[in-house]
Amino acid sequence: MLLAADVGGTKTLLGLFSNDEERPAPIEIGEFVTLDYDDLAPMIREFLGAWKVDPRTLAATCIGVAGAVTEGVARLTNVPWVVDGDAIANALGLRRSAVINDLEALAYAVPLLEANELAVLQQGISMPGGNAAVIAAGTGLGVSMLHEVDGRYVPFASEGGHADFAARTPRELEMVEELTRVFGRVGAEHVISGPGLINLYQFTHRAFGSGPMITPNTIAPSRLCPGVGDVGHITDLPARITQAARQRRCPMCVEAFDMFLSAYGSEAGNLALRALATSGLYVGGGIAPKILPELSNGIFVEAFRAKEPMDDLMTNVPVSVILNPDTGLHGAAIHARTLAVSR
């Protein structure tokens, strides 16, 4: 068997997979709240114990993490963890293991996705021999590129979600000025993520004042608009903003959500240009499937295409949303199988 992990800022997926197919089949999958644990090793130990699996019998393990990986070690961006591949392997008795970036793991699965796992936003024309790319907004923003090399895709990691946010309109320039005042620097993740939507909400509602009304652990209820209403937990707020925008209950929520869609589309287009993703741009992450109708309404695709003088090129790039929420986990399993067969 193979062990795969997809470690995110909010939740972590662990899975046991078969080792006999190019796309390993899942045997058992478990979902965990990441911050319920102080480290990854106890979570894995609990998962394997529940299924009575001896870690020493696993053919290989791959751990995808939301953070930069250097020599098998990652300090997670939105979680106070250090994931050390060697330390975890030694603690659990794993034989072959690897720690890779979570978007790199997601990218491993892209070439093996089925049609029913994708929703097409722009049909485009897939170019044989072209590159592909993946962008995914959730708790943070991640990107990966897949270079076509000798007939196969080779994913590689990137921390492009932390690159500078590029404002395109007078209103976005105002927003960047405000966010710069609050945060000191505005990265793409400050805008294109769940917390990014909250930042946009605060901007359109003129709610920052001397600082954010919303911190990682608290919300000031008196400063939330009636369209959003009472919010029990910070993680619920992006969904409530989205709902208020969908139902047109608050024009400022509508503006925040439209700015989010436009910024997401534009950054996806930037990535497609940088990767020359003529085989396809894939939108992953937890947010995209939940807002699929809005991603399809024109704002996202229009911003994706608006790259003069490359508009014609961008119109021909296929763009799809990844619907399978376990794709990153499957990608980690695919890479684990590579480790197992290359011994």
State whether residue 339 is helix, strand or coil.
helix
| pLDDT score recorded for residue 77 | 76
Q: Establish how many alpha carbons lie within 13 A of residue 80's alpha carbon, considering only the half-sphere containing its beta carbon.
A: 5
Round to whole Å and give the CA distance between 155 and 74: 18
Round to whole Å and give the CA distance between 215 and 199: 10
In sequence order, the 6+-apart residues with CB closer than 8 A to the CB of 340 are 2, 19, 59, 60, 96
Spell out the domains of the chain, with CATH numbers in brackets.
2-103+326-341 (3.30.420.40), 114-323 (3.40.367.20)
| pLDDT score recorded for residue 232 | 78
Q: What is the pLDDT along the chain (343 residues), one digit of tens a residue?
A: 999 999 987 899 999 999 988 899 999 999 999 999 999 999 999 999 999 999 999 999 999 998 899 999 998 877 889 999 999 999 999 989 999 999 999 999 999 999 999 999 999 999 989 999 999 999 899 999 999 999 899 999 999 999 999 999 999 999 999 999 999 999 999 999 999 999 999 999 998 876 655 554 555 655 689 889 888 788 889 999 999 999 999 999 999 999 999 999 999 999 999 999 999 999 999 999 999 999 998 999 999 999 999 999 999 999 999 999 999 999 999 999 999 987 6
pTM of the model: 0.93
State whether residue 333 is helix, strand or coil.
helix
In sequence order, the 6+-apart residues with CB closer than 8 A to the CB of 290 are 239, 242
Amino acid (1-letter code) at residue 239: A
| pLDDT score recorded for residue 167 | 97
| pLDDT score recorded for residue 78 | 74
Amino acid (1-letter code) at residue 22: E
Which among 301, 331, 302 has a CA at the least distance from the CA of 319?
301
| pLDDT score recorded for residue 342 | 77
